[in-house]
Amino acid sequence: MNSTDLSSFLAAYMPTIAPYSGGAVFMPTNDKNMSYKFKFGDRVKIKDGVNPDYFDGTCIGVPGTISAIGGGYYDYTIIFDNGRQQAFYVKDIDFLTPPKPKTKITLESVILAEDKKKQIIAAVSQVENTAKIFDEWGFADVFEKGTAVSLLFWGIPGTGKTLMAQALADHLELELKIYGPAEIESSEPGGAERTIKTIFADAKKNKKVVLFDECDSLLVDRNEVGPIFTQLVNTLLSEIEFYDGVIIFTTNRLGKLDPALERRITAKVEFPFPTKEQRKLIWQRMIPTKAPLNKNVDFDKLADYPLAGGNIKNSVLNAARTAAYEKSKDIKMIHFVDAIEKESEALQAFTAEYDKHPHQRMVNTMQRTETGNSVKKDFSALRGRLS
Ligand SMILES: Nc1ncnc2c1ncn2[C@@H]1O[C@H](COP(=O)(O)OP(=O)(O)OP(=O)(O)O)[C@@H](O)[C@H]1O
Ligand SMILES: [Mg+2]
């Protein structure tokens, strides 16, 4: 928590704190001897069964928020949901919502061709200007419908699609909500449609970036599927219509999209297999500065191996694990090479299966839909309206 967060937090809670504390100053301590388990502002709960004699018992187990750290004899002062506050020892506190130590993913850390990145950022910048265009400039009075930005990331596994989705959400300072097929699909009739509606209602209320990860049942052409999928796509389309946030779809297998959905997709971006140069950057960025790296590790050589980012990540982690297991003083080239070999074996089994759905086929399908009838029809309709 930085100092701005701290003062706004205090400003919000001061009215509650002040009458009780009798003017005590709440300061996070820098005492190095204290091993911090909780941070200022964390939501916590007092451990069941803790009934310290300084506490009158009514708040046991009630969730609260850490309002002060190291405020004297006790470790933390907690404000409970009923407005009471009390000091506690760290041993008496349980997590309620464990704070996620999350490092933000920057757009720079995703290795992707610049033009593709620009395409994505340009689409998303629409969202950043939404308030200005629609509220300040009054376009909301004219356009009653949503202004969703929807992106489709497609490409083989491990090329950074999910990573980019996270980087975009972090860039927009919004939470990324990831939904996979398991969350969407339902055995109950109408269950999937209800889920889609709930997802959008939640995203509208709490401003989120919605990621439908590998939800291929949403990416189908209604003309080519049965009534169940048709209903699902219908629901999706009408929800998008009244949504003004960011939706991202990712898929490994891009088939023929529903023309109506295709029209609503702001940008379709392929995440291709990385080039050698890109692989080198991915390798380099995956090694933390603190990691003990042997000086003979040659990123140029490592980048020769045709691995996607996801496989590079696995290889890096496995190399580090082996080095640590061997109590080696640093991570050596041989650790990386061994790890790559293992990764490649696993990959080969997968690739053999993948060749049955060649990447090339995805490209062809893509081109077909882009220049195909649906698009042509759109253009002629547009021309008709213009002339
Ligand atoms: N282009 C990239 N730039 C930087 N890191 C990458 C890139 N691609 C993959 N990685 C690394 O690999 C990991 C896995 O990638 P990610 O999950 O984004 O792949 P994906 O395309 O979503 O794969 P899948 O189709 O299997 O879901 C990332 O967390 C990241 O560490
Ligand atoms: Mg993914």
267 C-alpha vs ligand 2 centroid, how far in Å?
17
The pTM score is: 0.68
Beta bridge partners of 209: 176, 246
Architecture per CATH, domain 107-270, reads as: 3-Layer(aba) Sandwich (3.40)
Cα angle vertex 351, ends 116, 362, to 5°? 45
Ligand 1 pocket residues where CB is under 6 Å: 110-112, 157-163, 250, 252, 271, 282, 309-310, 313
Q: What does DSSP say about strands 93-95 and 149-154: parallel, antiparallel, or unpaired?
A: unpaired
The alpha carbon dihedral of 273, 277, 283, 284 has a sign of: negative
pLDDT of residue 70: 65
Environment of ion ligand 2 (residues, CB < 5 A): 161-162
Q: Cα–Cα distances in Å, from 41 out to 66, 85, 280, 387?
A: 5, 13, 40, 61
Asked if the model's pLDDT at residue 40 lies above 80, the reply is no
Nearest Cα to Cα of residue 13 among 68, 87, 71, 50:
68
Domain ranges of the chain: 3-95, 107-270, 276-386
How many residues make up the chain in this entry? 387
247 C-alpha vs ligand 2 centroid, how far in Å?
14
For residues 276-292, average pLDDT: 94
372 C-alpha vs ligand 1 centroid, how far in Å?
30
pLDDT band at 8 (very low <50, low <70, confident <90, very high): low
Q: How far apart are CA 331 and CA 316, in angstroms?
A: 10
Share of the chain above pLDDT 70, in %: 73
- Best of 107, 162, 253 to mutate for ligand 1, by most ligand atoms within 8 A of CB? 162
Class (C level, CATH) for 276-386: mainly alpha
Q: What does DSSP say about strands 63-69 and 43-46: parallel, antiparallel, or unpaired?
A: antiparallel
Contact status, residue 308 vs residue 350, Cβ threshold 8 Å: no
Question: Lowest-confidence range among 19-33, 169-183, 200-214?
Answer: 19-33
Q: How far apart are CA 107 and CA 117, in angstroms?
A: 8
Nearest Cα to Cα of residue 177 among 193, 199, 155, 158:
199
Contact status, residue 245 vs residue 210, Cβ threshold 8 Å: yes
pLDDT of residue 117: 94
Nearest Cα to Cα of residue 170 among 204, 208, 206:
208
Nearest CA to ligand 1 atom 27: 157
Nearest Cα to Cα of residue 347 among 339, 54, 83:
339
Query: For the domain 3-95, what is the CATH code?
Result: 2.30.30.40
For residues 240-249, average pLDDT: 90
Q: What does DSSP say about strands 63-69 and 76-80: parallel, antiparallel, or unpaired?
A: antiparallel
Asked if the model's pLDDT at residue 253 lies above 50, the reply is yes
> Which residues have CB under 8 Å from 86's CB, separation 6+?
54, 55, 59, 77, 78, 80
Q: How far apart are CA 223 and CA 244, in angstroms?
A: 27
Asked if the model's pLDDT at residue 207 lies above 50, the reply is yes
Q: For the chain, give percent helix, strand, coil, nearest 5.
A: 50, 15, 35
Nearest CA to ligand 1 atom 14: 310
pLDDT of residue 352: 53
212 C-alpha vs ligand 1 centroid, how far in Å?
16
Cα angle vertex 274, ends 271, 278, to 5°? 120
Nearest CA to ligand 1 atom 31: 313
pLDDT of residue 269: 94
For residues 117-127, average pLDDT: 88
Pairwise pLDDT comparison (126 vs 13), residue with the higher score: 126
Contact status, residue 266 vs residue 151, Cβ threshold 8 Å: yes
Tell me the HSE value of 329 on the side-chain side, using a 13 A CA sphere: 2
Contact status, residue 62 vs residue 46, Cβ threshold 8 Å: yes
pLDDT of residue 146: 65
pLDDT of residue 72: 62
| pLDDT (tens digit per residue) in 153-192 | 999 889 999 999 999 999 998 999 999 888 888 888 888 8
| pLDDT (tens digit per residue) in 340-381 | 888 887 776 655 554 544 443 333 333 333 333 333 344 344
What ligand 1 atom has the least distance to the C-alpha of 271? 21
